[in-house]
Amino acid sequence: MSPAAERWLPLVPAAVVCLYFFIGLIAFSVRSAIWGVKHDRDIEASGRSLLIGSYLRNYFSWLIRPLWWLVLASGISPNGVTVVATLAGCASGVAVALGRFALGGWLFILSGILDTLDGKLARVRHVVSPAGAAFDSLLDRYADGAVLFGLAIYFRHSWALVPALAAIFGTSMVPYVRAKAESFGVPMKEGLMQRPERVFTLGVAVMFSPMVEALLPTTSAHGSQRLAAIGLVLLAVTSNMTAFGRIARLLTALRGAAAQRASASAAASPAPGQPHAATRRLVRT
C-alpha cells in the first residue's frame, strides 16, 4: 500500500458519514422551505445556545431519526442507552490516546447522539425518574472526561496538554454549577458551551484533524493533530467562560433573593417605638 493510501484509507468511513450529514442538511433545508421546520420539543426545551441555534438542533434531531427508530425498536432500556453512550465515550478516549483521531472523533459524536436519545426514550416509555436522570448526568461526566483524558495522554509532550487540562476543569464545572444553582431553585440552562456544543466542537475538531494532517503533513514523527489542538483551546476557553458566567449569575440571583428577604423582613418589623401590628389590634379591641 502506498503512503498516500495509508494516510487516506482510514478516513474513508468518516468521509462517508460527513457526506450523509451534508446531504441531510440539504434535504432538511428543502423540506423546511416547503413544509416548515420540523421541531423537536425535547431538544428545544434543553435551553438556548449561541453556538448551535434552534434550526441546527432540529436538523440534527431530524437527521438521526433512523438511529432513534432503531433504538426504539431494539427494546433496550434508557439506562442501557446511557451505558452504551458512556462506553462509546470511553472508547473514544482510548482511540485518541492511541492516535486514532478519526475513529475517536466519531465515537465521541456517537456518544453525544446516544445521550440525546436516552431521555427521549424514557419519556416515550413513561419511565422517567430522578434516579434515571441522575444516572445519565453522572455517566456523562465519565464520557466527557475519558476523551479529554485520552487527548491529554496523546498531547503529554506538547503545549496542547495545558488546554486539555483546562478543558477538563471547564467541562466539569459547567454541569456542576448548573446542578448547584438548581438546588437553590435558580434555573441555569443557558450558556455558551453546554454539552451538545462541547460534543460537537471537540468531536468535529478531533474527527477532521487527521484530514488536515493528511493535506498538510508535517515532519514530526508524532502527528501534531493541529485541528484537535485548536478544538481543545476553543473548548477550554469557552467552557470556562460558561462556568464563570454561570457562577456570576448564580451569585447575583442568590444575593438578589437575600436582599428581597431582608427587605420583606424589614417591612414586616415594627418601627422603633411602635407596637407590633398584632399588638395594635389587641389594644384597639
Please tell me the distance from the alpha carbon of residue 279 to that of residue 236, in angstroms, as a whole number: 61
Find the Cα–Cα–Cα–Cα dihedral 217, 218, 220, 226, rounded to 10°.
Answer: -80
Backbone angles phi, psi at 223, to 5 degrees: -45, 135
For 30-56, give one letter per residue: b (16+ CB within 10 A) or e: eeeeeeeeeebeebeebeebebbeeee
CA 46/CA 136 separation, integer angstroms = 15
C-alpha cell at 160: 496542547
Distance CA 151, CA 93 (A): 7
Residue whose C-alpha is closest to residue 83's, from 101, 71, 67, 95: 71
The catalytic residue among 115, 136, 140, 144 is 140
Angle of helix 101-124 versus helix 65-74 axis, rounded to 10: 60
- Grid cell at residue 17: 458519514
**Is residue 140 among the annotated active site residues?**
yes
Amino acid, res. 214: A
The amino acid occupying position 269 is: S
CA distance 8 to 268: 75
What's the rounded Cα separation, in Å, for the pair 265 and 268? 5
The span from the CA of 181 to the CA of 94, in Å, is 33
Which residues are tagged catalytic? Answer: 140
